[in-house]
Structure 1
Amino acid sequence: MDPESGESVDPGIYTRDAIDEAFGFADNVYKKFMLSMDEFVESGAIKEWRAFPYDWRMPLEEIVDEGTRLEDGSTANVLEQIREMAKSSKSGKVSLVGHSNGGLLAKVVIDRLEKSGEAGLVDRLIMVGTPQIGTPKAMAGLLHGDGINLLKGLLLDKETARGLGENMASAYNLLPSKKYFEIVQSPVIEFDYDVRDIYDFRSIYGESISGFGSFKSFLLGDNGERTEPEEDDTDSPNVLKNTFLSRSIETHNNLDSWRAPEHMEVIQIAGWGLDTVRGISYDDCDILFCPDNLSNLDRKLILTEDGDETVVVPSAAAMEGEERYYLNLKLYNNPLDLKFRISRNHADILEATPLQDFIKNIIQNKKEQVTYISTEKPKVEKEYKRLRYRLHSPVKIDIIDENGNHIGIIENNDQDSDIRRYEQEVPNSYYMEFGETKYAGAEGRIAQDVILKGEDLGTFTFEIDEVFGTGETKNTTFENIPVMEGMIAEIAISDSVGEMEIDINGDGEKDFIIRPGEEASKETSLEILEKMIGFLDIHQTVKDRLIDKIGNARKQLEKGHNIATNAMLANVKQQIETFSRENAPEKFRIPKEEAEKLIVIIERIQLID
């Protein structure tokens, strides 16, 4: 996309058809819904139905006014299609069903029909999971490239995702609008006290951002005070384009105040019960002497169950005075037979059979009760429990439940693709990456094994939240565990969180056990470090010297001499620095990057009391 105009720089891109399944290997997107509508026609209930695929990169108004370019070079015009269908309809009218951004597009369509005196061609608008006033997850994508799932099961890398989003005018429509802040009271951005050590956001915005004026200022780089980061620096908050943001504000000013013509029925359907991003919390980094630049900001998701994993309920049901319905995804995804895998969320919500039946009922002017759909927003049962996992790199996470269902990254057979694949087979599960942190979640009633695999030298922290229906949250944290590539840590979770069993080199033997909620003790951390160095690809003489010095530090620790232990560790750091210098003999040299990571591990061990 052109960064100035937002126009496509490749004139060869076209729109083909609605997505039934993604590239043949991801989960269905609209496949079952499309088959359901075909059957609806065959039953004689309706004469025809059409899917209108469109180029979602383009502004809504442009899609409606200029049409969508198709593969054969022709242009599909949604207004013309509505006119054609109305002519052949028994009632002379059509019903519009808009999923996600499609609901916003439908509002623009009806607005154009009103202006041409043709609003009578549409008798109802059904919006499903539409971010009518925006949703915070879009903010994370535009600021950091986080959480950009092209389709269910496909994850785009952050640099590409952020670059795509910031130059796509339509993406700005998904940001929380002014009306969002009038309806939703919780802040979309929070600043930890320690963030001032990197950048004093708190002196500009206070502890949080919960108003549109401050939000707009933050998106535009504190009104120009903060510069746009380099393309590969996705940890610094992006500075968005004023032109596109202003255009989206104008769009929302129109859509957020839009009212349907008196004759038209409006149905809003919101997905409920899945962990959904409601905000971002910024903090300083957790390394010793954290450098004071924005690229060292840490960020954490703030989650709510009041959504469908992408769109929060207040946005999907934002129109006052119009009918609201809630699809209980948490309950629908929770079958009695746990071997039957269901994990519907925003991306494939129309694949939910109850929703398909409900939409058919509405089109036939029936308001019959459908299981899992209600006019009252559901409440969390007191006995309910779900698990939320947060893993700080450099570690990969895989979760496997008692039935063999998997959550986590899987191999993409296309070696040339920069798109990664993931699975979320466990009922009500999800997998997301925000910054260097991996997030996953699943039902708490299902026994699960968590497998953590080291991908690099460093330390990791693994947090588990057991969230109960009573509102109580029990946190278990395994903190600052030294890790190397190939190391495996496993935790069994059933009624409670089990011990972490660590296998340093992946040979199948358990080398260490850390109890739930414990930081690795100084003694255990030194033992792990000692074993890790033994497996590093460096000269044996260097290994022996470092292991010997770590052994001396352990002896001081056994005597209770913490200061002397840290002094010995300082000597280990000095040795590592010496062996990493360019003038060190090549056969003894420790690669610079590896040396820096070892030093960070040692510095964290020094901080343990």
Structure 2
Amino acid sequence: LYLNSDGISVNNEIYTKDEDIIDRAYNKIVYRDFMSYMDILVADNTIKEWKPIPYDWRLPLQSTVDDGIRLEDGKLIDLLEEVQKLAENSNTGKVTIIGHSNGGLLGKVLIDRLKNIGKDNLVDKFIMVATPQVGTPKAVAGLLHGSGLSFPFFLNEKTGRGLAENMSSAYNLLPSKKYFEYAQTPVVEFEEDVKDIYDFREIYGNEIGDKDELDSKDELDKFLTGDEGKRSDPDFDDTDSPNVLNENLLNEANDIHDNLLDKWSAPQGMEVIQIAGWGLDTIAGIKYDDCDIVFCPDKLSNLDRELVFKKDGDATVVIPSAIIMNDGEIYYVNIEKYNTSNDKYNEHANILEIPQLQEFIKNILNNKRDLTNYITTIKPEVTDEDESLRYKMHSPVAVHLYANNKHTGLIENPNPDSDLVYYEENIPNSYYIEFGETKYLGSPKNGNIRVELVGEDTGTFTFEIDEIKGLNVSKTTTFKDVPVIKDMKAYLDISENIGIMEIDWNNDDKIDTTIDLEKSNSTETVSIQLLKEVIKSSHINPILKNHFLNELKVAEKQMKKGKNKNAAKILEILENQIEIFSDKKMFKKLRIGKDEAESLIKIIETVRLNLIK
């Protein structure tokens, strides 16, 4: 699917299947029920016919309309001709266009071209559902770091960013100039310590995207294209450094937004209906900081990056972007309420699968505006009664949520030869996102949520749980710098006590130790215990291994006496010993491998620093 720097497909044999829109993508139903519903509308004579129009979503909107949609046999779908054919067969001589997501942008271009040839009177209604009319911040994360390109699987960030950086459609989804007239939060933020790596604040101040600043779009474009040449294009493997985007494609996207999409208005006599999804955590921006890991060099590839969420969208498109037109009707779908009431998980990708939305669209087609359940003309408001949880994991640890026999998190890829990472989001109003080495999850607060953590490698992890009340974080619970080994498991029962973590370090289904954040020294004591397990599972010479374990026992005794500084001193000596025994001049029989030594030293250093804080 890759494209060259001109946005042209590298593989010229890729084609679109006629009328073959996606019914389901692995475990997520996308348009299946909506297609069936449209067939029912034909059967009951609500409409005479309908036609789904798939298209190559990688390519520019203009070329899709102007050049046609290429099919397998080389034939082209001419969208202008399709509208005219449907209108000729219609009982009214007109058609209604329903555009979902990017399809709404394509619909604007199509109607513009119909207007150019005097055929715009063939369209009586234009319904945009969850359309990012002026872009959405999620696209910034995808283009800069290859993150968020998921459905319902992840491309690895290298592949995802390589695909997106020359894809015209991805640039069209970036926040446009008009976006910043309505944005409530910055698209990019820079913490003060980020200057230790790269002084973004000197160039942009604290943030990009303050709606009171007239140059927000110019600043964003400057950041996206490398700070006017000051920042070079990162290596393909380096997805932690912000990418330097294709300036030509960015200019083309700005041009179509400024001159068509953002100033688009409906021709006289055409009804425009904007439908936005609401109630789900949606990416609203990115926050950059310096690296907090021990021994972390100050370079761009070690930037810490964090997603910022707002409960004001459909998990992809933030509300302002979906309802930007003042001269169009506006409706809201309360997806959060629908999911809760029906034990479902619908979001941006499958919003058209909500039966009440399908029924409302039928009402529109019948020239009625009778509101169905979950559909309102006034945007729902978040209240203090709305409570949810956001989870954030920094580390080599997998995170799984379970509730009422439903699961949210990673699942096994059915194709063992594939490099795609599959996940599912079956708990209503839950989500799973990977952004760099950080995993983000969300869930309702009510319900019997159980968290399961599974070690993927040796290291340390920090696990944060934000309790959200209304729009604000009411409390944050943090398990910081906990040592982990591969296959170690840890459990939290959210309904009981968020501050207690049970740990099964050898994966034998028995709880070996517990971290209780209400007890002093609990994390540090368990960290020493887990550090012993890390040493036991290492490839160190048995004689050295026993020596190191005895040292840790002494440190443990010092901690029990409340002498954390003494314990920290023992750990410092242990670090030095490991470094000595990793020297290539050391006897081969006693030598510790360089990578293993570095990993152990990082873990010990992290535990030691926590002891003396």
Q: TM-score range by the shorter chain?
A: over 0.9
Task: Please report how far the alpha carbon of residue 468 of structure 1 lies from its aligned counterpart in structure 2 after TM superposition.
Answer: 1.6
- Does structure 1 residue 217 correspond to structure 2 residue 216? no
Partner of 2:583: 581
On the 8 A contact 2:145/2:239 being kept in 1, the answer is yes
Q: Following the alignment from structure 1 to structure 2, what is the Cα–Cα distance between the partners of residues 495 and 207? A: 39
Task: Please report how far the alpha carbon of residue 90 of structure 1 lies from its aligned counterpart in structure 2 after TM superposition.
Answer: 1.3
1:548-571, CA deviations, whole angstroms, 9 ceiling, x for partnerless residues? 222333344455554443332222
Partner of 2:308: 302
Task: Summarize the alignment of residues 487-502 of structure 1 with structure 2, pairs less than 5 Å apart.
Answer: 487-494=488-495, 496-502=497-503
Partner of 1:602: 604
On the 8 A contact 1:489/1:503 being kept in 2, the answer is yes
Task: Please report how far the alpha carbon of residue 184 of structure 1 lies from its aligned counterpart in structure 2 after TM superposition.
Answer: 1.1
Q: Following the alignment from structure 1 to structure 2, what is the Cα–Cα distance between the partners of residues 406 and 236? A: 33
Q: Secondary structure at 2:255's aligned position in 1? A: helix
Q: Secondary structure at 2:480's aligned position in 1? A: strand
Q: Following the alignment from structure 2 to structure 1, what is the Cα–Cα distance between the partners of residues 273 and 508? A: 57
Amino acid at match of 2:593: P
Q: Following the alignment from structure 1 to structure 2, what is the Cα–Cα distance between the partners of residues 217 and 534? A: 51
Amino acid at match of 1:601: I
Task: Summarize the alignment of residues 166-565 of structure 1 with structure 2, pairs less than 5 Å apart.
Answer: 166-210=165-209, 211-253=216-258, 254-335=260-341, 341-401=343-403, 403-469=404-470, 471=472, 473-494=474-495, 496-516=497-517, 521-558=523-560, 560-565=562-567
Q: Following the alignment from structure 2 to structure 1, what is the Cα–Cα distance between the partners of residues 484 and 53? A: 50
Task: Please report how far the alpha carbon of residue 520 of structure 1 lies from its aligned counterpart in structure 2 after TM superposition.
Answer: 5.3
Q: Secondary structure at 2:503's aligned position in 1? A: strand
Q: Which runs of no fewer than 5 residues in structure 2 stay unpaired?
A: 210-215
Q: Secondary structure at 1:222's aligned position in 2? A: coil
Partner of 2:30: 29
Partner of 1:59: 60
Amino acid at match of 1:115: N
Task: Please report how far the alpha carbon of residue 418 of structure 1 lies from its aligned counterpart in structure 2 after TM superposition.
Answer: 1.3
Task: Please report how far the alpha carbon of residue 132 of structure 1 lies from its aligned counterpart in structure 2 after TM superposition.
Answer: 0.2
User: Structure 2 vs 1, CA of residues 349 and 516 (structure 1 numbering), >3 Å: closer, same or farther?
Assistant: farther
Structure 1 window deviating more from structure 2 (56-65 vs 491-500): it is: 491-500
Task: Please report how far the alpha carbon of residue 413 of structure 1 lies from its aligned counterpart in structure 2 after TM superposition.
Answer: 1.5
Q: Following the alignment from structure 2 to structure 1, what is the Cα–Cα distance between the partners of residues 536 and 167? A: 50
Q: Following the alignment from structure 1 to structure 2, what is the Cα–Cα distance between the partners of residues 387 and 185? A: 22
- Does structure 1 residue 45 correspond to structure 2 residue 51? no
- Does structure 1 residue 103 correspond to structure 2 residue 104? yes
Q: Following the alignment from structure 2 to structure 1, what is the Cα–Cα distance between the partners of residues 564 and 336? A: 50
On the 8 A contact 1:146/1:434 being kept in 2, the answer is yes
Amino acid at match of 2:607: I
On the 8 A contact 1:480/1:520 being kept in 2, the answer is no
1:98-137, CA deviations, whole angstroms, 9 ceiling, x for partnerless residues? 0000000000000000111111011111000000000000
Task: Please report how far the alpha carbon of residue 599 of structure 1 lies from its aligned counterpart in structure 2 after TM superposition.
Answer: 0.8
On the 8 A contact 1:277/1:303 being kept in 2, the answer is yes
On the 8 A contact 2:449/2:493 being kept in 1, the answer is yes
Partner of 1:162: 161
On the 8 A contact 2:581/2:590 being kept in 1, the answer is yes
Task: Summarize the alignment of residues 110-189 of structure 1 with structure 2, pairs less than 5 Å apart.
Answer: 110-149=111-150, 151=151, 153-189=152-188
User: Structure 2 vs 1, CA of residues 286 and 66 (structure 1 numbering), >3 Å: closer, same or farther?
Assistant: same
On the 8 A contact 1:21/1:28 being kept in 2, the answer is yes
Task: Please report how far the alpha carbon of residue 472 of structure 1 lies from its aligned counterpart in structure 2 after TM superposition.
Answer: 5.0
Q: Following the alignment from structure 2 to structure 1, what is the Cα–Cα distance between the partners of residues 348 and 471? A: 26
Task: Please report how far the alpha carbon of residue 147 of structure 1 lies from its aligned counterpart in structure 2 after TM superposition.
Answer: 1.2
Q: Secondary structure at 1:138's aligned position in 2? A: helix
1:389-424, CA deviations, whole angstroms, 9 ceiling, x for partnerless residues? 1111110011111x1100000001201111111011
Task: Please report how far the alpha carbon of residue 302 of structure 1 lies from its aligned counterpart in structure 2 after TM superposition.
Answer: 0.7
User: TM-score when scaled to structure 1?
Assistant: 0.96
Q: Following the alignment from structure 2 to structure 1, what is the Cα–Cα distance between the partners of residues 127 and 438? A: 37
Q: Following the alignment from structure 1 to structure 2, what is the Cα–Cα distance between the partners of residues 80 and 269? A: 27
Task: Please report how far the alpha carbon of residue 289 of structure 1 lies from its aligned counterpart in structure 2 after TM superposition.
Answer: 4.2
Q: Which runs of no fewer than 5 residues in structure 1 stay unpaired?
A: none
On the 8 A contact 1:19/1:29 being kept in 2, the answer is no
Identical-pair percentage: 50
Q: Following the alignment from structure 1 to structure 2, what is the Cα–Cα distance between the partners of residues 296 and 548? A: 35
Amino acid at match of 2:34: F
Task: Please report how far the alpha carbon of residue 496 of structure 1 lies from its aligned counterpart in structure 2 after TM superposition.
Answer: 4.7
Q: Secondary structure at 2:340's aligned position in 1? A: coil
Task: Please report how far the alpha carbon of residue 498 of structure 1 lies from its aligned counterpart in structure 2 after TM superposition.
Answer: 4.8
Q: Following the alignment from structure 1 to structure 2, what is the Cα–Cα distance between the partners of residues 513 and 248? A: 53
Amino acid at match of 1:315: S
Structure 1 window deviating more from structure 2 (486-495 vs 467-476): it is: 467-476
Amino acid at match of 1:285: C
On the 8 A contact 2:482/2:523 being kept in 1, the answer is no
Q: Following the alignment from structure 2 to structure 1, what is the Cα–Cα distance between the partners of residues 224 and 257? A: 16
Q: Secondary structure at 1:598's aligned position in 2? A: helix
Task: Please report how far the alpha carbon of residue 533 of structure 1 lies from its aligned counterpart in structure 2 after TM superposition.
Answer: 1.1
Q: Following the alignment from structure 2 to structure 1, what is the Cα–Cα distance between the partners of residues 591 and 309? A: 46
On the 8 A contact 2:479/2:523 being kept in 1, the answer is no
Q: Following the alignment from structure 1 to structure 2, what is the Cα–Cα distance between the partners of residues 493 and 558? A: 29
Q: Following the alignment from structure 1 to structure 2, what is the Cα–Cα distance between the partners of residues 166 and 533? A: 43
Q: Secondary structure at 2:49's aligned position in 1? A: coil
Q: Following the alignment from structure 1 to structure 2, what is the Cα–Cα distance between the partners of residues 328 and 489? A: 35
Task: Please report how far the alpha carbon of residue 516 of structure 1 lies from its aligned counterpart in structure 2 after TM superposition.
Answer: 4.1
Q: Secondary structure at 1:171's aligned position in 2? A: helix
Amino acid at match of 1:222: D
Q: Following the alignment from structure 1 to structure 2, what is the Cα–Cα distance between the partners of residues 21 and 155? A: 19
Task: Please report how far the alpha carbon of residue 19 of structure 1 lies from its aligned counterpart in structure 2 after TM superposition.
Answer: 3.3
Q: Following the alignment from structure 2 to structure 1, what is the Cα–Cα distance between the partners of residues 410 and 539? A: 27
On the 8 A contact 2:4/2:10 being kept in 1, the answer is no
Partner of 1:72: 73
User: Structure 2 vs 1, CA of residues 114 and 225 (structure 1 numbering), >3 Å: closer, same or farther?
Assistant: same
Q: Following the alignment from structure 1 to structure 2, what is the Cα–Cα distance between the partners of residues 277 and 320? A: 24
Structure 1 window deviating more from structure 2 (572-581 vs 177-186): it is: 572-581
On the 8 A contact 2:517/2:523 being kept in 1, the answer is no
* Residues paired across the two proteins, number: 601
